[in-house]
Amino acid sequence: MNRHTKTRTLNDRPIIGILAQHTVDGLSKVAKTYVASTYVKYLESAGSRVTAIRLYLTESEYEKTFYSINGILLPGGAVDLQMSEFARVAGIFYRLAKEACDQGDYFPIWGTCLGHQLLMTLTAGENLLSRTDSENVALPLVFTDATKSCKMFKDFPAEMMRVLSDKPLTGNFHRYSLTLQAFEGNEKLRSFYRLISTNTDRQGVTFVSTIEAFRYPIYGTQWHPEANRYFWKESLEAPHCPLGVRVSYLLAEFFVNEARRNFHHFEKKEEEESALIDQHMPKFLGDKSSFRSVYLFDLLGD
């Protein structure tokens, strides 16, 4: 199946899917899955529409969705990176994206935090994460020489790159990381990903913080770029300064622009409209959640 087209230079009406996540704590009594509003706002702010990629569907249904949307974001969360439904569905889109790109059909993937870790696991074929002391801390990025040839920061102003290196503008909220040692010791990862930046946790352990694939439009950050604009819980180390907000927007713009290079589309206007997350109302959680509000799916009792 291949319904992409190249009659236009860019797609001015991109739709990016956000993979739904398993609910935890009190929300698990209400619904099985959710999409955090932060990711929706993040993508919409840069000119994309959004659809939720629901869990528990068939592979053929995900293939139909793949050829209807223009990219996918794998969000943060806390699930098994190999055995969960979240991992299964992400693996399907990861495979379809690589196959499509090999045929000239450009389909971008972005992984944030857990999504970043899942990309590493899918590529390596095993979970190589280690426990790190990296929860709720803002850090400056330690860029590698490979940054000079990366796409992710290519259009960032030089001053912004300097600030990213000097100031703690990236919010980290993870308990596990892929250490630099694990990355460098795995040939599959080294040959697939350009290592853009690292960070060091409170105990001095260096971990991978930003990557992008060499051959494919696949990107990952262990940190949360959306947090700078949309994490408002006061206990969280989410830098809301003007520079932090600017970093967040520039990365959202980058990924949405990547999605503009894809021309997948829904077969009917009615299908497109019904798939958009606009059809759903977010549930406000306030400080009970880092996300403040979420879209709930697979409601219990339905």
| Average pLDDT for the chain | 95
Strands (E), 43-169: 49-53, 72-74, 109-112, 130-139, 142-143
240 is known as an active-site residue: no
CB 90 within 8 A of CB 42: no
- H-assigned helices in 67-130: 85-102, 114-124
At residue 247, does pLDDT exceed 90?
A: yes
At residue 302, does pLDDT exceed 70?
A: no
Nearest to residue 16, comparing CAs of 34, 39, 33? 39
CA–CA gap between residue 254 and residue 144 (Å, rounded): 20
pLDDT tens, position by position, 160-170 = 999 999 999 99
The mean per-residue pLDDT over the stretch 101-105 comes to: 97
CB 101 within 8 A of CB 164: no
CA–CA gap between residue 7 and residue 15 (Å, rounded): 18
The mean per-residue pLDDT over the stretch 186-202 comes to: 98
The mean per-residue pLDDT over the stretch 87-111 comes to: 98
H or E stretch covering 181: helix 180-184
**Could you give the count of Cα atoms lying within 13 Å of 231 in the half-sphere of its Cβ?**
24
Length of the chain: 302
CA–CA gap between residue 65 and residue 25 (Å, rounded): 30
Q: Which of 4, 116, 224, 264 is an active site residue?
A: 224
> Hey, which CATH number is domain 15-299, 3.40.50.880, 3.40.50.410, 3.40.190.10, 2.40.50.220?
3.40.50.880
CA–CA gap between residue 184 and residue 73 (Å, rounded): 26
At residue 182, does pLDDT exceed 60?
A: yes
The two most distant CA atoms of the chain are separated, in Å, by: 54
CA–CA gap between residue 41 and residue 44 (Å, rounded): 5
User: Across-strand partners of 172?
Assistant: 137
Q: Give the pLDDT band (50/70/90) at residue 290.
A: confident
Token pair of 59, please?
């592979």
At residue 1, does pLDDT exceed 50?
A: no
The mean per-residue pLDDT over the stretch 273-301 comes to: 90
Nearest to residue 275, comparing CAs of 106, 65, 12, 94? 65
224 is known as an active-site residue: yes
**Could you give the count of Cα atoms lying within 13 Å of 1 in the half-sphere of its Cβ?**
13
Give me the pLDDT at residue 300, please.
86
Give me the pLDDT at residue 288, please.
79
pLDDT tens, position by position, 4-55 = 445 568 999 999 999 999 998 888 888 999 999 999 999 999 999 999 999 9
What is the pTM assigned to this prediction? Answer: 0.95
Q: Which of 4, 113, 116, 265 is an active site residue?
A: 113
H or E stretch covering 268: none
Give me the pLDDT at residue 26, please.
80
